Chains A and B, each alone.
Chain A
Amino acid sequence: MSAVLGVSAYYHDAAAALVVDGQVIAAMQEERFTRIKNDASLPFHAAEACLSVAGLNADDLDEVVFYENPYSKLERVLISNLRTFPMSWKQFPLALGAQLGTKLWVLDQLAEGLGVPRAKVGFRSHHESHAASAFLPSPFEEAAVLTVDGVGEHDTTVMWRGQGSELTALGSLEYPHSLGLLYAGLTAYCGFMVNEGEYKVMGLSSFGQPRFREQFDKLIRLSADGSFELGLEYFAYMTDPALGFGPKLEQLLGPRRPVGRPWDLDSAEDRRFADVAATLQQVTEEALLGLCAELRRQTDASALCLAGGVALNAVANARLLRDSGFDRIWVQPAAGDAGAALGAAMLGSVALGDGRTQLDTMALGTAIDAGRGQAVARSLGLVAERVDQPANVAAELLGRERIVAVANGRFEFGPRALGQRSLLANPAGAQTRDHLNRLVKHREPFRPFAPAVLADRTPAWFDGEENDMTPYMTTVLDVRADKRDELRAVTHVDGTARLQTVRQPASMMRGVLESLERRTGSPVVLNTSLNGPGEPICATETDALGFFVAHRVDALLLDDVLVTRP
């Protein structure tokens, strides 16, 4: 037996993943346990939970693989600070303090924290971990692989060829030329938090017109060979740890948006930010298309695997499937740094001689303890009763326009709630989106909600078929024009929806959709994540009960325990 634990940490969204005999047994983000959104600390809680799911101890591990090379990373930080000398005077002490104080010793910290010999702890490179997380669990024996994010050790973008269990790097772009950091800088410019607000920028882009193209040509220059170069004078991330963009960017695009100011898309000022977001989205898509064209030229592959934070751009992924020339595209659903823990574990496993296995579920977290949930719910003064057919009960409530929280089985790995920790509602209700936004999620008014649909009913409701990305909400499809009234709450302003197609037999979500179709004729439900604003998605029954008490939703299903208010 071989057991390999992969770990990502110390940038954002730390995670642990366990692969045993080539099978992915568990993968979890640390934030689900500490309840700190995008927690970057060493994921000891997640590692402990992974081992617990497998019934293993740390002694049973053959290898622990960290997702990047800490020595190479220190080198890049030093080189970058020296290149920007003397402008880096403010960043230098902080960056070096972080590296020498903690990050450089991560392998020793992992050995000590997990209780494994230091010799068992190794690393793979950042982008190799991303690439492995995208290719090794994919449905393809051979594929082109593209990893695009902020920055790893030195690289920001790498093209790969994947064959069998082998990954070969074909070319890379180096820091500071980074699509991820371009997106992050403009996320901060639009007044959102970096590493959290990128989805918001994507949602906002549909409300704008890409009228800043001339200005963006100064921010990023795209080359015919797919590479790109940033106009570095507009960005500050090389010299100022607090800000991604520099004063020249404000001279170019206008003043930044103050953090936390309520949005009003009827105002000229906020429409300007929507236009900036729209231009950014267009440029990002074109940069990705350029990269894909070069990758196709070099590999002649018909399938593409994507990973890295930029691969979470569902709108861009849809464009790539349409225009890149690749027949099939697979995006590893936890495409950000959390998913690199999975890649690191799989690389370790393959090196030990295990084969690769296709990932067919993201329910890789810990399970709900419904009995405990029932007892705690009753102690809280709630009504908690076991029901025979929870999916039918949920569908019945949804049919009556109720909002139902579902915590079912093992929680999902990655940023998407796919029915294990979800908040479900009727997608037709005119008030549903406003109600959810105002009372539960407190989100910006322009952010769309997503639908889940029975996979084989997809063409009846959306313009397109189920594809490799739709089961994981990593792409969008157009909502059929004749169905937009029935899917008001999940249709974005541009007519698209970031849908989840549900095929898995015996899953709770499938049961809910089938029951809903029998009752209402519609196999579609609004599916959003089970968390409040700024919180990680719920993991345990206690987290779910906390959410239920704090928010105005109508019912909570903890596996087969229905919780309601007295």
Chain B
Amino acid sequence: MRSGGVHGLGRERCLPLVPLAARIVNPIVWVLPGHAVHKLEQFALAEHGSLLDMTAAANRCEDPDRAAAYLRHALDEGRHSQMFVRRARELAQEQGRPRPGRVRADTEHLFQTLGEVDFLAFVHRGESTGRQQFESYQQWFRSRGDVRTEQLFKALVHDELRHEAYSLELLTDLVPAEQVSAAFRKMWMRDLWHGWLRLGRPISHGVYLAGMLLLYPLLWPFALWVRVVRPRRSGW
């Protein structure tokens, strides 16, 4: 799973921030009406985004063994995305809400922009973050007696552990230990920067929308003018 969560440097040095944050917000995000469906959809989207990045890595990596490893990972992410969508649809149906449609993620072309070493460090960190989150959710749903959702997260945790292990293994095979640490530091900084950007995006969007809505009523003279000089045309 791709994640931009802020936490430690690699699996062995992870700070317990992610499970802690997850435990704090679980009672809110999973219980609010309709929010569980939305949350599962968001996970499906993240998994689909990860599928795109892993597929690009499989296509661009020259080594066939590593390409095969990336392709396997991509296929897992595709399967995870579908699992989330299926569960979201089940929940939506149970709650009488609109069924989620097909997810459609975007890609930042991470393999290309980061290079293979940093990409592997990014993947390892993302998998580690995802695994910790999912473990927390698994416990939450177990405590609520929701076996189906618990089993969903259990299956995902199993795969995330495998992804964590292989990505670290490939990384340590590719470069010496000091470069591995450097890559983790770089990705940690990247996560911080992207976290800041993510925080800023809705704020700037809100400011823009508010500004435009204030501006909009001032357009009425132009609206009248356009109707006179450029009326709607019908026919040839």
Q: A36-B107, A258-B99 are in contact. Are A93 and B208 (CB under 8 A)?
A: yes
Given contacts A82-B227, A376-B71, 14 further A-B contacts (CB under 8 A): A35-B52, A82-B222, A83-B232, A85-B223, A92-B212, A97-B212, A229-B235, A376-B64, A378-B64, A379-B67, A379-B68, A533-B102, A534-B102, A546-B58
Residues of A within 8 A of B (CB): 34-37, 79, 82-83, 85-86, 89, 92-93, 96-97, 171-174, 176-177, 193, 223, 225-227, 229, 258-261, 372, 375-376, 378-380, 533-534, 540, 542-543, 545-546, 549-550
Instruction: Decide: A376 and B67 in contact? CB cutoff 8 A.
Output: yes
Instruction: Decide: B236 and A36 in contact? CB cutoff 8 A.
Output: no
With a cutoff of 8 Å between Cβ atoms, the chain B residues found around residue A227 in the complex are 234-236
With both chains docked as a complex, state the minimum distance between the C-beta of A35 and any C-beta of chain B, in angstroms: 5
Option from A37, A92, A177 in Cβ contact (under 8 Å) with B234: A177
With both chains docked as a complex, state the minimum distance between the C-beta of B114 and any C-beta of chain A, in angstroms: 16
Bound: A393/B98 CA distance, A: 47
With both chains docked as a complex, state the minimum distance between the C-beta of B144 and any C-beta of chain A, in angstroms: 26
With a cutoff of 8 Å between Cβ atoms, the chain A residues found around residue B65 in the complex are 379
Q: A34-B52, A97-B208 are in contact. Are A259 and B99 (CB under 8 A)?
A: yes
Q: A35-B55, A258-B99, A543-B59 are in contact. Are A82 and B68 (CB under 8 A)?
A: no
Instruction: Decide: A225 and B236 in contact? CB cutoff 8 A.
Output: yes
Instruction: Decide: A546 and B71 in contact? CB cutoff 8 A.
Output: yes
Q: A93-B208, A227-B236 are in contact. Are A36 and B52 (CB under 8 A)?
A: yes
Instruction: Decide: B67 and A82 in contact? CB cutoff 8 A.
Output: no
With a cutoff of 8 Å between Cβ atoms, the chain A residues found around residue B233 in the complex are 174
Consensus secondary structure, chain B interface: helix
Asked if B219 is at the interface (CB within 8 A of a chain A CB), the reply is yes
A176 (CB) vs chain B CBs: closest residue: B232
Bound: A193/B102 CA distance, A: 9
Bound: A542/B71 CA distance, A: 8
Segment with Cβ contacts to A, from B14-22, B72-80, B115-123, B127-135: B72-80
With a cutoff of 8 Å between Cβ atoms, the chain B residues found around residue A260 in the complex are 89, 99-101
Instruction: Decide: B235 and A540 in contact? CB cutoff 8 A.
Output: no
Instruction: Decide: A35 and B106 in contact? CB cutoff 8 A.
Output: no
With a cutoff of 8 Å between Cβ atoms, the chain A residues found around residue B71 in the complex are 376, 380, 542, 545-546, 549
Instruction: Decide: A36 and B106 in contact? CB cutoff 8 A.
Output: yes
With both chains docked as a complex, state the minimum distance between the C-beta of B66 and any C-beta of chain A, in angstroms: 9
Bound: A376/B208 CA distance, A: 48
Instruction: Decide: B236 and A261 in contact? CB cutoff 8 A.
Output: no
With a cutoff of 8 Å between Cβ atoms, the chain B residues found around residue A533 in the complex are 102
With a cutoff of 8 Å between Cβ atoms, the chain B residues found around residue A172 in the complex are 236
Asked if B209 is at the interface (CB within 8 A of a chain A CB), the reply is yes
With a cutoff of 8 Å between Cβ atoms, the chain A residues found around residue B79 in the complex are 550
With a cutoff of 8 Å between Cβ atoms, the chain A residues found around residue B236 in the complex are 171-173, 225-227
